[in-house]
């Protein structure tokens, strides 16, 4: 309920900024609050990350898929429903990996943090995922926007030749198609970016720089 309430309030504020489309770039919010976001969006096109991830799985021709995400995303079973709609009869396993987010945010997957930090992350991945090694999974969905930063560690823990699907990348491609259809796609490199958070702007700026190479000039704070 807290995620739904905050998601609705954030959506209303973003719509007031005159946005042309809205991306729910969080698997947890997409899994439990997408209907609340769409209700608050007042006709603005909304894209979550779950349906695009399921579509990417269908396009790959896969049949047996492992989904990893936060506890809230996994307990919602939103991925399982979307994947079975996209591929009737698909064999879907969902696994919560709650330690991955704090490990990423601490930078413990980065070689610069040293061997011990990286070893802790590899150990966590082995604990979560080694049981699925050799079990016939053809696909793995990264059901959290932090997880692509652990892609190589996750792939090694699962083992074998498995197709790793980044739901965030699939969502970005879907947004591009949506804007192109509506004639709203801007030339590459044009425009500007504004960043707002509900708390801890300095921490956000540091994480944006360390994790995805974005260095915000200014991070605004909007409390809800």
Any idea which residues carry the catalytic annotation? 26, 144
Q: What is the 3-state secondary structure (H, E, C) of 42-75?
A: CCCEEECCHHHHHHHHHHHCCCEEEEEECHHHHH
- In the chain, % helix, strand, coil (3-state, to 5) comes to 55, 15, 30
Among 30, 35, 34, 39, smallest CA distance to 12 is for: 39
Backbone angles phi, psi at 215, to 5 degrees: -115, 90
Query: What length does the chain have?
Result: 224
Provide the 8-state DSSP code for 112.
G
End-to-end CA distance of the chain: 15
**Rounded CA separation 80/65 (Å):** 10
b (16+ CB within 10 A) / e for 23-46: bbbbbbbbbbbbebbbebbeebbb
């Amino acid at each position: 309920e807290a995620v739904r309430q905050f998601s609705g309030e954030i959506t209303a504020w973003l719509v007031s900024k005159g946005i042309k489309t809205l991306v729910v770039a969080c698997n947890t919010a997409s899994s439990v609050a997408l209907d609340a976001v769409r209700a608050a969006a007042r006709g603005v096109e909304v894209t979550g990350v779950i349906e695009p991830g399921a579509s990417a799985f269908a396009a790959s021709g896969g049949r047996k898929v492992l989904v990893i995400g936060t506890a809230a995303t996994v307990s919602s079973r939103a991925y399982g429903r979307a994947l079975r709609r996209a591929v009737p009869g698909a064999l879907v396993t969902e696994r919560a990996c709650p330690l991955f987010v704090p490990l990423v945010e601490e930078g413990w997957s980065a070689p610069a943090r040293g061997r011990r930090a990286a070893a802790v992350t590899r150990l966590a991945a082995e604990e979560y995922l080694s049981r699925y090694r050799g079990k016939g999974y053809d696909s793995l969905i990264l059901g959290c926007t932090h997880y692509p930063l652990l892609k190589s560690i996750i792939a090694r823990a699962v083992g074998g030749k498995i197709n790793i699907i980044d739901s965030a990348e699939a969502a970005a491609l879907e947004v591009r198609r949506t804007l192109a259809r509506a004639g709203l796609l801007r030339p590459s490199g044009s425009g500007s970016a504004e960043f707002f958070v509900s708390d801890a702007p300095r921490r956000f700026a540091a994480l944006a720089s360390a994790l995805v190479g974005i260095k915000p000039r200014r991070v605004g704070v909007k409390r809800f």
